[in-house]
Amino acid sequence: MKFRSSDAKGIACILIAAMGFALMTFFVKLSGDVPTMEKAFFRNAFAAVIACVTLLRSEEKFKMKKGCGKYIFLRCLFGTTGLLCNFYAIDHLPLADANMLNKLSPFFAILASIPILKEKPTKIDIMTTVVAFSGVLLIARPSADVSMIPALAGIWGGAGAGIAYSFVRLLGKKKERTSIIVLCFSLFSCLLSLPFMIADFAPMKMWQLMCLIAAGVFAAVAQFSITSAYKFAPARKIGVFDNTQVVFSAILGIVFFSEIPVPLSICGYVIIIGMAVFRWYWNLTHEREEEKEHA
């Protein structure tokens, strides 16, 4: 199956992002009982510094493309709320479960692309999205008590990320620079979390600080990579490769936290990843057939 050069770049970027995000969530969880807002601040602070340095070395500096401001704000809003919910889920769920719920983002990106990008989903897109959510039920295992809160937070983490990536794709079409998008998102997240962090600040031990520094570094690598990925290619073509993060996270969870996924969660992983792979394969095959018809 042939890939355009932009698709191949998108796949490479999303694989790097998957590894980066897996290591980020690993170090976030490893840091222990540090408050969620404090973790969120450090996660974004390093990405903001890197983006700022990158922009200072560019010709356009901090100049934003005309008409992109409102879309950058919406990317920041949905991305930040999704990030905070994902961090809460990481602290209260097995690492692989939290990351799997976050990997619903490509499915939410499909839904969000309807009003944001005016892209009409296919019947296969709709079917696989519906089936994927049955996998969510196996992972979340709904109940009426507070144990559902981390799972619901994890689901919104995926939803917020998916909607945010749709705005990233829109900004890519408008030729906005990756560094501007990353800087605005990182600063927005830092400013939002700062008051909460000050109000509930918990002194950290040196090893916890080192963990959050590592989380920030890997988050920066992942953030630049994921932003570039969705600028190179649409979610329907490359989103499936983002699921490799779950594999990386599951290995880290088993080795370092002795987190063995329960059978129902494993079934949920198989359903969600299976639907992502099926949708990706079907879309590529269908596009190839259309290209032959118009040749």
Which DSSP string do the residues of 146-215 spell out, in sequence order? Answer: TTHHHHHHHHHHHHHHHHHHHHHHHHHHTT--HHHHHHHHHHHHHHHHHHHHHHT-----HHHHHHHHHH
pLDDT at 156: 93
Burial of 142 (0-12, 13-18, 19+ CB in 10 A): exposed
pLDDT at 144: 56
pLDDT at 191: 93
Q: How far apart are CA 96 and CA 245, in angstroms?
A: 9
Average pLDDT over residues 281-291: 71
pLDDT at 211: 92
User: Is the pLDDT score of 143 beyond 70?
Assistant: no
**Residues 242, 17 contacting (CB under 8 angstroms):** yes
Q: pLDDT tens across 82-94, in order?
A: 999 988 988 888 8
pLDDT at 70: 93
pLDDT at 1: 45
Q: How far apart are CA 232 and CA 238, in angstroms?
A: 10
Q: pLDDT tens across 108-119, in order?
A: 888 888 899 888
Q: How far apart are CA 98 and CA 158, in angstroms?
A: 10
Q: pLDDT tens across 53-82, in order?
A: 989 988 888 889 888 999 999 999 999 999
